[in-house]
Structures are given as C-alpha cells and as structure tokens.
Amino acid sequence: MTSPADVETAVADAHRQGWALVLAATARVARDLDLAEECVQEAYAAALASWASDGIPNNPAAWLTIAAKRRAMDAVRREQTFRSKLPLLVVPEETKDEVAVDEPASVEPGDLVPDERLRLIFMCCHPALAQEAQLALTLRLVCGVTTADIARAFLVSEPTMAARMTRAKKKISAARIPFRLPGAAELPDRLRAVLGVIHLLFTAGHTAPSGASLVRTDLVDQSLRLARVLRELMPDEREVRGLLAQLLVTDARRATRVDADGRLLRLEDQDRSLWDRSAMAEAHDLIVDGLRGGRPGRYVLQAAIASLYAEAPSYHHTDWPQIVTLYDELLSVWPSPVVALNRTVAVSMVAGPEQALKQVAALEKDGRLTRYQYLPAIKADLLQRLGRSEDASIAYCQALELTGNDTERAFLAERLAGLHRA
C-alpha cells in the first residue's frame, strides 16, 4: 500500500506535467473535446484509488494515457452500438478523418507535426472559431492553464471566459469541425493562432497569474520546447524565429528575477552577470535572421526590444530612444494597449515620467486595461518618481487589488509600505 499523501503528490505532479499530453493522445481517439476531457479526468480520479493499492507506476503519464484512451474507446463503442440499434437514424458516412477505435492513433513517421501536443494545438486553432476562442480553448485543454488564469491573460472575468470556451466547444460539435491535423497547405493559416498560444503559455509561466511562485517553470519549459518544434516544422517562417528568440532572451533572466529570499527584483536590480548568455546569443542570431527580408512582424520586434534590454551593460545605459522607436514600429503592426503601456516605461526614460504619465492617463481613459494590474503599477512608479506619494499610494493599492501572484503582491506591498514610511 502506498500512503495517500504520496499518491496525491504523484497525481498532482502527473497532472501538472502530463495533463496536456494525456489529453492530446485521448483526443485523437475520442474525436470530441468534451469526451476526451471527461475521460482524462476519470483516469486521474481512478489513479487515486489504483495507485494507493497497486503502487505508483514508473511512468504515470503512460498509465494515465492508457486508462483515458480505454475510456474513450468504450464511449465511442457505446455510441456506435447505439447508432446500430436505431435503423431510422441517418448515420453519416465514415470519412478519412475517423480512426478505428480498436487501434489508438499514434504518431506516424510521416506525420506533419510529430509532437503530440503541438498537433492538438494546430487542431484546436481552427479558423471557424474566433481567434480569442482558439487561444483560450487551446490554453485550457492542451496546455492545462486554469480558466481563472486564462481570464486574467485576456483581462476578463472568469465566468465570462468559461462561457466563451463553452460556446467554442459547442461550435466545434455543432459545426462538425473535423478533429484532425490540418494538411500542409492549411498550416500557415493557423500559424498566427498557434504562435499566440505558445506566447500566452510562456507569459503564464514567466509570471504566473496566481499562486506563490513568480515563475511556473513547467509552462516556460513547455512553451520553449513547442517553439523549437515549431521552428523545425516551419524553419522559413520569420515570426516563428522571432517567437523563439523572444522566449529565449526573456527567459535568460530566470535565475535573477527573485533574490535568495524569494523577493521580486526589478530589471535594474538584477545581476546581469548571471544571465544565460548562450540563450541570449542564440536569440540574437534568430533576431538578425528575422530582421532580414522585409518588414518585421510582431514577434521579431518584441524579441528585438527584449534583446536591447538584455544586451545593455546596465539598466540606465539601455538604448532607450531605440526602444521607443521599436515600440512605435511594433504598435504599427500590432496596435495593442499592452504594447502602448510597455512603451511608456521607455518614454519615461527618454522624455521623463511626466510625459509618460500623460500617456498612461490616456490608456486609463481608453478602458481596455481596466483589469490589467500593470497599468496602476506603472502609474504608481511614475507618480513616485514625480514625488506625488499620496497619488502613488492609491495607484499601488489599485495594483494590489488586481494582482493574483503572491510574489508580485509582496513586492507591491513593500513599495506601498515604503511610501507610508516616507
């Protein structure tokens, strides 16, 4: 017998590390997202009882995959039996998209996308769905990100996001969208959404929307691996190179983002000698390749901005005017209010905090960043630099109300306490 505590820990670890892979494998058998998710949930529930009596398997993910697939095959067989006993029911002809339930689908050497998880991402990013629905549904089902954290990423409430994902799954079912890997000619049309999924997955790992730890290394590592597989699949796509470069250069600072006590360190306070130089060098080469041959896209420009921050000898010796110029170019290809907010930090270093504060005020009036915690956080910093402590305190309180990550909350609370002491 294995202790309940050990079993619970093993199941939790398997959920964190293997949920997406188990779901991806099960979905290829079930051909239905709701059914696949239900079967995977049942497999994890069964593991709690089975592992307590039989012991924790050497490969938990394989055990869970087999258990979930068997449930999916049983469900499909029951459905087929049900159809066969209702002769008046019009049964659609089998298509090449259907897989025999007796033989669980596996990755063949000739598959266009050899990575199981990336295959499912391409499947979920169907053009019949709105792009936001594609991104949210894929993050939840394929990447295992919670609905609450996805809602934070999209700056909406959790019930709103849950409703959107439910509608997306219903549309997949109602429209009979084939649950298959798109052909080679279809991949470029889905690339934008796939890039968005990997980027949002990295963002959710780089700074976890909730929880005690600043970084979720499992999500960061997962996104980096997916970006590398995608580059192997589509080596000539500049935006694929740009995304990988952005992830590499941003993650190069991982070891210095908190101090020995787990407290958040701002970019200007981090020890640059500890940054991952090999990752930065690889990113630099990818950026140079991405800047060749025409106007750069969103991810190449974001990577170039991150690289300028990283390659500067110090925070104050950063080429701030060049960063503002790159942000202007980025806004022209991706007019996002988040990009405009990030630009204000560079503007404050070039034109002063007062000018940047005016731009933050315009973004507040715009209203799209009402739920975005970094807007009041940046505003508070600008107000503090201008000596407006009382207004800065109010802004820090607003940022605290919107922030779910414990490490970030502790940082904001410390800044607020410093203002009160002053």
Q: Which residues contact 308 (CB under 8 A, 6 or more apart)?
A: 318, 319, 322, 323, 326
- For range 205-233, the mean pLDDT: 92
CA–CA separation, 280 and 249 (whole Å): 5
What are the pLDDT digits (tens) for 58-106?
999 899 999 999 999 998 888 777 566 555 444 444 444 433 333 334 4
**For residue 293, how many other CB atoms are within 10 A of its CB?**
8
Residues 101-125 have a mean pLDDT of 57
Inter-CA distances, 209 with 194, 204, 223, 368, Å: 21, 6, 16, 18
pLDDT in tens, 132-171: 888 888 888 777 788 888 888 888 899 999 998 888 888 8
How confident is the model at residue 82, as a pLDDT?
58
- Match 């306070």 to its residue by tokens: 269
Q: Confirm if 312 and 319 have CB atoms less than 8 A apart.
A: yes
Query: Do residues 405 and 208 make contact, with C-beta atoms less than 8 angstroms apart?
Result: yes
- List, for residues 31-50, the tens digit of each pLDDT value: 777 788 889 999 999 999 89
Q: Count the alpha carbons within 13 Å of 61 in the hemisphere toward its beta carbon.
A: 13
C-beta separation of 19 from 144 below 8 A = yes
| Contact of 227 with 243, CB cutoff 8 Å | yes
Q: How is residue 118 written in tokens?
A: 């990336």
Tell me if residue 210 falls in helix, strand or coil: strand
Interatomic CA distance for residues 249 and 46, integer angstroms:
41
Q: Which of 84-98, 287-301, 372-386 has the highest mean pLDDT?
A: 372-386
The beta-carbon contacts of 291-296 under 8 Å, at least 24 apart in sequence, are 293/238, 295/333, 296/238, 296/242, 296/329, 296/333
| Other CB atoms within 10 Å distance of the CB of residue 163 | 12
Rounded to an integer, what distance in angstroms lies between the CA atom of residue 126 and that of residue 112? 17
Element (H, E) at 194: helix 187-206
Burial status of residue 92 (CB atoms within 10 A of its CB: 0-12, 13-18, 19 or more): exposed
How far is the C-alpha of 239 from the C-alpha of 230, rounded, in Å? 11
Band (416; pLDDT cuts 50, 70, 90)? very high
Give the per-residue pLDDT at 108: 40
Identify which of 144, 139, 123, 154 has the alpha carbon closest to the alpha carbon of residue 40: 144
Fill in the amino acid letter for 54.
Answer: D
